[in-house]
Structure 1
Amino acid sequence: MVALKAQEVDRFVAKPPESVSLVLVYGPDTGLVSERAATLIKHAGGDDPDPFSQIKLDGSDISSDPNRLVDEALTISMFGGRRTIWVKDGSSKNIVPAVETLLRNPDQPSFVVIEAGDLKKTAPLRKKIEGDKLAVALPCFPDTAKDVDRLIDEETKAAGLMISREARMALHALLGADRRASRGELQKLCLYAMEDQRIESHHVEEIIGDASAFAMDELIDAAALGQLKTLDQGLERFEAGGMDAGVIASQALRHFQQLHFCKLETQKRRSADDVVGSLRPPVFWKRKSKMVRQVEIWPVEQLERALIRLNETVKTARLNAVLGPSILSHALLMIGQYASRLNR
């Protein structure tokens, strides 16, 4: 079965067909990958799942013993119901031989979910599952503005809270890179604003700003404006907190894509202030002047070079978690040094 399109994924996760026995969940948004894998396991297990029928395996468990996966999948649940098998970290080890063995047993009664990272189209695991009629591959990309709005609505409705337009705009500037992190921040915000019955922008600034200690946007703005001291401090704090270099690099790439778009628009005799002000979703008001300045100082050619550098950084950070932070730091510092000269 071919990989589902982004708009089809949520419908599939809400009600996976009984005919599907193997699902690969992959993509750059690790929080969304984990959330969707957990939802699939929950739906397959039913309302009152038997804990003995829910098996979790690490990728290393089945790469060293390819028969382990099919043995677990062919085991009949002791107390009835469908047995579920959740394979974690499926992209870090070669589990293709185990998956091939499993796919040769189409009548196996279990429901298997493999949680993986950002797999290329040519990745053997992804190709194998997309090419099988009883398996499905679900891509998980960073949230769009519409996704963030839906997430905000879900959490505020569950908490019984209203939210102001200004607070929603502020959240758009802070959320979206990682679904799990975004949901956690929203739940914390709702708890913080519970007594006021309505979330305002000051709630967002007070709880989300303080909790993250150093906003990702502030780090990226520091690089794009050449504020080297701020950038250096931000990188130190992110490293101390166990930075996800791939998430930060992706966010920086999207930001520079926006700058490139804005710069091209200014060449049509539009002011930087007008172009930035017309972006959708709107730029958080506290960041608007910073972004206008970035559009003003960066030449188109240099923005294109920065985009190439950041795109390479994203790929490397996702493939190598150990080297990711140092590669990201080097890329942002190089950008910051150039921006510092522009901003004099």
Structure 2
Amino acid sequence: MNLKGAAAAKFFARPDPGTAGALIYGADAMRVALRRQELIAALAGPQAEEEMRLTRMTGAEAKADPTAAIDALRAIGFFPGPRVVFVDGVTEAQSAPLVAALEAWSEGDAALVVTAGALKKTSKLRRAFEGHAKAVAVALYDEPMGREEIEAAIAAEGLTLTQEARQDVEALARTLDPGDFRQTLTKIALYAGDEAVTPEAVALMAPATIDAETDEVIAAAADGRAAAIGPLMQRLGGQGVAAVTLIIFATRHFQQLHAAAVGGGVGGLRPPVFGPRRDAMERQARGWGARRLEAALDVLMETDLTLRSASRAPQMAVTERALIRLAMMART
């Protein structure tokens, strides 16, 4: 069967012990690797490799010896417990022995976990796993992590987050690739220990490049420097920064400004806001005022909805137009 979204996340976390196999494929090798690791641990336990219940081979090795995958599935392990045969980096040209192994699978055999890059709908490998009664195929796309993925990553690190820290972590998840995000969560967990994670901890452990890449263009919009936005957006686009990421961070910035304006001073700003940046935000909050900041947040909300809709408008252009509009509002 073909799994997507929440159903796929649930499968990775708690797969059916009787699963015959799983095909995990997509262009983002890191996403595929992380999901494969999660699934193998869920199927066979974290000690599977040490207890020789995990057999690894590449797609090239499976093709070179067409019976290798079938033999591995049927092998009897020295240690008791569920077994997994993992075949990595399979191409369509190497799929025949794996399709045969899946078709030959029977109760008591090891589970067959296969990873691949992007596969077409006509792929024989896809059709084999999608059509098998006890196997699944999951496509992973290069897009921001979903809520289920974020929650699973937080739970895996055993983190307790304040509400504000959770918002910052979710923003990180939409900015970083999955591997960097998980590494950042691990650093946050080590830093926080048994304490609840605060926004300060998130800011301290987050890669410095994120704020550096976005703060400048957001500050230009908040300060009314419309002429600076175009060149900055071009640079950010060339660095691969996503439009939705800019809107997420811009929204958080203007929410902080609004909190300061409503609260009557910089005390309304929640951490992490220190030093020169704190002074700049205090100045911006006074200059904008609560009413105009509410209008700015409306612009950002409208832009966010456009970016997440089926609109075919160029996303960076939509974002640039919104930031220039904010810069013009700052001057009035």
CA contact under 8 A between 2:92 and 2:124: conserved in structure 1?
no
- Paired amino acid for 2:232: T
SS of the aligned residue for 1:25 comes to strand
Shift in Å, 1:121:
4.3
Shift in Å, 1:136:
1.6
SS of the aligned residue for 1:136 comes to strand
- Paired amino acid for 1:42: A
What is the aligned partner in structure 1 of residue 199 from structure 2? 201
Give TM-score scaled by structure 1 length: 0.59
| Structure 2 unmatched ranges of 5 or more | 251-257, 259-271, 274-280, 282-292
Structure-2 change in CA distance of 1:63 and 1:147 (3 Å): same
SS of the aligned residue for 2:93 comes to coil
- Rounded to whole Å, the distance in 1 between the matches of 2:216 and 2:309 is 20
Deviations 1:192-244 (A, max 9, x none): 3448x3432233223215265745x669979x9873443455467x5xxxxxx
- Rounded to whole Å, the distance in 1 between the matches of 2:211 and 2:186 is 18
What is the aligned partner in structure 1 of residue 134 from structure 2? 134
- Rounded to whole Å, the distance in 2 between the matches of 1:336 and 1:10 is 31
SS of the aligned residue for 1:307 comes to coil
Shift in Å, 1:41:
1.9
CA contact under 8 A between 2:21 and 2:135: conserved in structure 1?
yes
What is the aligned partner in structure 1 of residue 62 from structure 2? 62
Structure-2 change in CA distance of 1:289 and 1:208 (3 Å): farther
- Rounded to whole Å, the distance in 2 between the matches of 1:88 and 1:213 is 36
CA contact under 8 A between 2:229 and 2:323: conserved in structure 1?
yes
CA contact under 8 A between 2:154 and 2:185: conserved in structure 1?
yes
SS of the aligned residue for 1:163 comes to coil
Map residues 9-158 of structure 1 onto 2, 5 A cutoff.
9-27=8-26, 31-46=30-45, 48-49=47-48, 51=50, 52-63=52-63, 66-90=66-90, 92-107=91-106, 109-119=109-119, 121-140=121-140, 142-145=144-147, 147-149=149-151, 151-152=153-154, 154-155=156-157, 158=158
Structure-2 change in CA distance of 1:151 and 1:233 (3 Å): same
What is the aligned partner in structure 2 of residue 307 from structure 1? 312
Structure-2 change in CA distance of 1:80 and 1:163 (3 Å): closer
CA contact under 8 A between 1:45 and 1:83: conserved in structure 2?
yes
- Paired amino acid for 2:197: I
- Rounded to whole Å, the distance in 2 between the matches of 1:188 and 1:288 is 35
Give TM-score scaled by structure 2 length: 0.61
Shift in Å, 1:37:
1.7
| Structure 1 unmatched ranges of 5 or more | 239-244, 260-272, 274-283, 311-331
- Paired amino acid for 1:126: R
Shift in Å, 1:254:
8.3
Deviations 1:302-339 (A, max 9, x none): 999983656xxxxxxxxxxxxxxxxxxxxx6x888988
SS of the aligned residue for 2:137 comes to strand
- Paired amino acid for 1:44: L
Q: Does 2:11 match 1:6?
A: no
Shift in Å, 1:140:
4.4
CA contact under 8 A between 2:23 and 2:113: conserved in structure 1?
yes
Shift in Å, 1:8:
3.0
Structure-2 change in CA distance of 1:289 and 1:70 (3 Å): farther
CA contact under 8 A between 1:3 and 1:137: conserved in structure 2?
yes
- Paired amino acid for 1:22: G
Shift in Å, 1:146:
5.4
- Rounded to whole Å, the distance in 2 between the matches of 1:124 and 1:255 is 40
- Paired amino acid for 1:25: I
Structure-2 change in CA distance of 1:297 and 1:131 (3 Å): closer
Q: Does 2:232 match 1:230?
A: yes
Structure-2 change in CA distance of 1:194 and 1:341 (3 Å): closer
Q: How many residues get paired?
A: 278
- Rounded to whole Å, the distance in 2 between the matches of 1:15 and 1:211 is 35
What is the aligned partner in structure 1 of residue 181 from structure 2? 182
Cα RMSD over matched residues? 4.9
- Rounded to whole Å, the distance in 2 between the matches of 1:295 and 1:74 is 55
- Rounded to whole Å, the distance in 2 between the matches of 1:305 and 1:22 is 34
Please say which structure displays the higher CA radius of gyration. 2
SS of the aligned residue for 2:165 comes to helix
Structure-2 change in CA distance of 1:34 and 1:42 (3 Å): same
CA contact under 8 A between 2:87 and 2:114: conserved in structure 1?
yes
CA contact under 8 A between 2:20 and 2:102: conserved in structure 1?
no
CA contact under 8 A between 1:106 and 1:134: conserved in structure 2?
no
Structure-2 change in CA distance of 1:76 and 1:304 (3 Å): closer
SS of the aligned residue for 1:125 comes to helix
- Rounded to whole Å, the distance in 1 between the matches of 2:322 and 2:5 is 36
- Rounded to whole Å, the distance in 2 between the matches of 1:60 and 1:43 is 26
Q: Percent identity?
A: 21
